[in-house]
Amino acid sequence: MSDQPLEALPAEAISTVEAIARPRSVARSRANTADLFKRLRDNLGVIGIYAFLGVMVIFALFPIYYVFQASFNTTQALISTQLQLVPQAPGWANYQFILQQEPFLTWMKNSFIAVGMATAIALVCATTGAYALSRFRFPGRRFGLVMLMVLQTFPGLLAIYAYEQILTTIGLEGQLTGLAIVYAAGNIVIGVWNIKGYFDTIPVELEEAALVDGGNSFLAFFRIVLPLAAPAIAASAILMFVGGWNEFALAKLLLNPDNNNVTIPVGLQQLQGENSTPWGYFAASAVLVSLPLMAIFLYMQRFFKAGLTIGGVKG
């Protein structure tokens, strides 16, 4: 039967088959419609979730996209009251202006110097301090740890007169080095807690073995503990660097603005005119300053999470 071609069947049989099949196909299409509704109902939750995520992505990305496209727009087009979401005559004019006419690169260099020095000083202090707090028991240890936690809440801005006095005394007033020392103090407070938390997870037996073999504490610290704690130290370094890179208030108050001796946040704020704001230049600077940091951030993210959750202070 199955071998027989369809034409071989009597016409009557075919019409009978059709007659039987027709209601079935109607029934199937009804079932399909019902099925569709059921699937729609089942998926309504998921569709809602996608809609929500879509709105959130627009909220998250629109500001970034808008500034990115504006950086390629002309100043003329940006002082228009019409909404425009793509530049009409895209060009590099804003970038050229920022890099050539404004001391943008000097500000970047200053930021790197001040923040880099602060991070380096803070890492030296925080690793040694955290090691002592993690490995040795001495009077005042608990008090010191709680004290560091309390100091974390102290905003540097509140002590600005004292900073001015100290930096004048040691001859660093208005200088990047002076600012770096002030930043370093804030970084040590965060760094000690993070790095100590990680040191605590490293088995002390490794160092004991080294000490038995005739090494001393310094050797154990440099050769064993520091290499093992690299993830936490890197995560702390990034936190410190980003924190300093973002800092505006202390830099504005402590640095001497002559000769463009300021960091990038202060420089960009100075760029702002009395009445008009050069949005095109701002947009180009925003892209130049953010892209490297965003790249580092996205690359380091996993790393970052591990270094932070293992460390003492979560947040």
Of 229-268, binders to other proteins (CB under 8 A) are 242, 245-246, 248-249, 252-253, 264-265, 268
Enumerate residues 283-302 that contact other proteins by CB under 8 A: 283, 285-286, 289-290, 293-294, 297-298, 301
Q: Which is nearer to other proteins, 41 or 314 (CB)?
A: 314
Which CB atom, from 28 or from 141, has the smaller least distance to other proteins? 141
Least CB distance from residue 232 to other proteins, whole Å?
13
- Footprint of other proteins on residues 74-103 (CB under 8 A)? 78-83, 85
**Of 15-23, 25-33, 102-110, 150-158, which part binds other proteins (CB under 8 A)?**
150-158
Rule CB under 8 A: say whether 192 interacts with other proteins: yes
- Interface residue with other proteins among 93, 99, 113, 159 (CB under 8 A) is 159
Applying CB under 8 A, among 93, 108, 120, 145 the residue interacting with other proteins is 145
* Shortest Cβ 239–other proteins spacing (Å): 13
Minimum CB distance to other proteins smaller for 114 or for 283: 283
Q: Does residue 72 interact with other proteins by CB under 8 A?
A: no
Q: Which is nearer to other proteins, 93 or 149 (CB)?
A: 149
Site for other proteins in 5-44 (CB under 8 A): none
Cβ-in-10-Å burial (0-12, 13-18, 19+) of 251 comes to buried
Is position 273 an interface residue for other proteins (rule: CB under 8 A)?
no
Q: Tokens in use for 74?
A: 């002309």
Binding residue for other proteins, selected from 16, 25, 33, 165, defined by CB under 8 A: 165
Contact letters for other proteins, residues 102-141 (x by CB under 8 A): -------------------x--xxx-xx-xx--xxxx---
CB 126 within 8 A of CB 248: no
Q: What is the C-alpha end-to-end distance of the chain, expressed in Å? A: 75
Give 255's strand partners. 174
Nearer to other proteins, 25 or 246 (CB): 246
Q: Which is nearer to other proteins, 37 or 154 (CB)?
A: 154
The residue (of 16 and 152) whose beta carbon lies closer to other proteins is 152
Is residue 202 part of the contact set for other proteins (CB under 8 A)? no
- Largest Cα–Cα separation, the chain: 113
Q: How far is the CB of 31 from other proteins (least distance, A)?
A: 24
**Binders of other proteins among 169-188, rule CB under 8 A?**
181-182, 184-186, 188
Under rule CB under 8 A, residue 223 binds other proteins = no
Distance, CA of 198 to CA of 203 (rounded, Å): 11
282 binds other proteins (CB under 8 A): yes
SS (H, E, C) the chain: CCCCCHHHCCHHHHHHHHHHHHHHHHHHHHHHHHHHHHHHHHHHHHHHHHHHHHHHHHHHHHHHHHHHHHCCCCHHHHCCCCCCCCCCCCCCHHHHHHHHCCCHHHHHHHHHHHHHHHHHHHHHHHHHHHHHHHHCCCCCHHHHHHHHHHHHCCCHHHHHHHHHHHHHHCCCCECHHHHHHHHHHHHHHHHHHHHHHHHHCCCCHHHHHHHHCCCCHHHHHHHHHHHHCHHHHHHHHHHHHHHHHHCCHHHHHHECCHHHCCCHHHHHHHHCCCCCCCHHHHHHHHHHHHHHHHHHHHHHHHHHHHHHHHCCCCC
